[in-house]
C-alpha cells in the first residue's frame, strides 16, 4: 500500500515569511491607491465640462449646438449670437443644456 511521508507536508519558514511580506506589501499598495483615488477630483461627466472650450456647430442665437470631447451638446449663449466655427467657454451645465459665453481671443 502507498505510504505518506510526513515531510511532504512541511513548509519552509522562509516560504512562510516571504508569503507574509508579499501579502503585506500588496495590501499596503492597494490601500494607498484606494485612498488616493478617493481624494481625486471628479474628472468625468458634466462636472468636468465647466471651464472647457467647445466649438460651435450650429450658430448660437442664443440656442444652438456645440461640439466638445467628441460629443454634440445643446447650448445657450449668455453673451449674444455666436457663429459656426467660433469657440465658446462653458460656464455651467443645466441638465443636458450647456450655458456658454463667447471666447475672447
pLDDT confidence of residue 42: 65
Structural domain spans, the chain: 6-39, 46-102
Q: How many CB atoms are closer than 10 A to CB 103?
A: 15
Q: Are 77 and 56 in contact (CB under 8 A)?
A: no
Pick the CATH number of 46-102 from 2.60.120.1440, 3.30.365.10, 3.40.50.740, 2.40.50.140: 2.40.50.140
State pLDDT tens for residues 3-62.
Answer: 888 877 888 899 999 999 999 999 999 999 999 999 987 666 677 888 899 999 999 988
47 or 65, which is more confident: 65
Task: With H, G, I as helix, E, B as strand and everything else as coil, classify residue 90.
Answer: strand
Kindly list the distances between the CA atom of residue 72 and the CA atoms of 9, 44, 57, 60, 64, in Å, as whole numbers in the listed order: 65, 16, 8, 13, 10
Q: What is the DSSP string of 1-58?
A: -PPPPGGGG---HHHHHHHHHHHHHHHHHHHHHHHHHHHSPP-SSGGGTTT-EEEEEE
Q: In this model, does residue 76 exceed pLDDT 90?
A: yes
Amino acid at each position: 500500500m502507498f505510504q505518506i511521508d510526513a515531510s511532504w507536508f512541511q513548509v519552509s519558514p522562509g516560504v512562510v515569511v516571504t508569503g507574509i511580506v508579499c501579502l503585506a506589501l500588496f495590501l499596503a499598495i492597494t490601500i494607498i491607491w484606494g485612498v488616493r483615488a478617493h481624494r481625486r477630483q471628479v474628472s468625468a461627466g458634466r462636472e468636468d465640462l465647466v471651464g472647457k472650450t467647445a466649438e460651435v456647430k450650429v450658430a448660437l442665437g442664443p440656442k444652438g449646438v456645440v461640439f466638445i470631447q467628441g460629443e454634440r451638446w445643446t447650448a445657450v449663449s449668455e453673451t449674444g449670437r455666436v457663429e459656426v466655427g467660433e469657440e465658446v467657454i462653458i460656464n455651467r451645465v443645466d441638465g443636458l443644456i450647456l450655458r456658454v459665453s463667447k471666447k475672447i481671443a
